[in-house]
Structure 1
Amino acid sequence: MTEFRLLGPVEVITGAGVVDVGPPQRRSVLAALAVDAGRPVPVEVLIERVWGEGFPDGARRALQAHLTRIRRMLERVASGADDRVTLARRAGGYVLEAEPERVDLHRFRRLAERARNAGIHGAERLDLLREALALWRGEPLAGITGEWAARVREGWKRQRLDVVVAWADAELQTGEHSTVTARLRDLVAEYPLVEPLVAALMRALYASGSAAEALDCYAAMRKRLAGELGTEPGAELQRVHQAILRGDLHQPSQPSPASPASPASPLNQPNPQESAPARAVPAMLPLDVRGFAGRAHELARLDAVLAETAHHPTSVIISALSGTAGVGKTALAVRWAHRVCDRFPDGQLYVNLRGYDPQQPMTAADALADFLSALGMSGQDIPLDIGQRAARYRSAVSGRRMLVVLDNASSVEQARPLLPGSPTCVVVVTSRDSLAGLVALHGAQRIDLDLLPPPEAIALLRTLIGDRVEAEPEAAALLAGQCARLPLALRLVAELAAARPAASLAELAGELADQQRRLDHLDAGGDPRAAVRAVFSWSYQRLPADAARAFRLLSLHPGPGLDSYAVAALTGQSLQHARRALDLLARAHLVHPAAAGRYDMHDLLRAYAGWLVTEHDDEHERRAALTRLFDHYLATAATAMDTLYPAERHRRPRVAPPASPAPGVADTASARVWLESERPALLAVCAHAAGHGLPGHAVRLAATLYAYLDNGGHFADALTAHTHARHAAQQAGDLAGEAGAVANLGVVHWQLGDYEQAAGHLQRALDLFRKIGDQVGEARTVGNLGILHSRMGFPGRAFDDHTRALALFRELGDQVGEANTLANLGAVFVLLGRDEPAATHNLRALELFRELGHRGGEATALTNLGEVEARLGRYERAAEHFLRALDIFREIGERYGEACALNGLGDARSHGGAPADAVERHTAALNLAIDIGERDEEARAHDGLGHAYHALDDLASARSHWRQALSAYTELGVPAADDIRTRLDTLDTNPPSA
Structure 2
Amino acid sequence: MTDRAAEPPGPPEPPEMTVEIAAPGAVYLGDARFDGDAVAGNKIVYMAPDPYRPPAQLPADVQDFTGRRAALDRLDELVTLDGPRTALVTAIHGMAGVGKTALAVHWGHQVAGEFPDGQLYVDLRGYSDDATLTPVEALGRFLRALGVPDQRVPEDADERAALYRSMLSGRRMLIILDNAADPRQVLPLLPGSPTCLTLVTSRGRLSGLVARGGAYTIAIDVLTPDESIDLIAGIVGPDRVMAEPVAAARLASRCAYLPLALRIAAVHVVMGTYGSIAELVDELAEGDRLNALECDDDPGLAVRAAFGLSYRHLDEPVQRAFRRTGLVEGPDFSAQILAVLLGTSVEEVRPLLRVLVHANLVQPRDGRYRLHDLLREYAWERVNEEETHGEREAAIARLVSWYVDNGHRYGRRIDPYRSRLTTGADDEGDDYAEALAWFEAERMGLVAAAGQASRLRMGPLVWELADAAYDFLRRRRYNRDNVRLQKLALSTARSAGAAKPRAYVLHHLAALHRDLGGYTDALRYAQRALEASREAGQEETHALHTLRLVGKIHWRMGKYARALDCFAEHLRQCRERGDAAGEASTLTFMALVYSNLGRYTDAVEHLQRAVDIERTAGNRRGEGVVHQWLAHIHHSLGHSRRAAEYAQLALEAHRDGRDLAGQARALNLLTRVTRALGDHRQAVRYAGHALEIRRTIGDRLGEGQALDTLAMLQRQIGAYREAERLVQEALRVRREIGDRHGESVSLESLAWALSYIGRPRESFDNQLASLRIRRQMGDRTGEARALALLAHFAVYVDRLPDGLRYAEESLAIRREVGDRHGEADSLLLMARLYRKLDRPAEAIAHARRSLDIRREIGDRRGEGEALDNISRIHLKTGHAEEALQHARQALSVEKEIDDLIGQGWTLDHLADVHMALGQGSRAIRVCEQALRVREQIHDRHGQRRTLDHLTALHLAQDAPAKALETARRALEIVREYADPDTLAPRLHAIEDLAERAER
The normalised TM-score by structure 1 is 0.44
| CA radius of gyration, larger in | 2
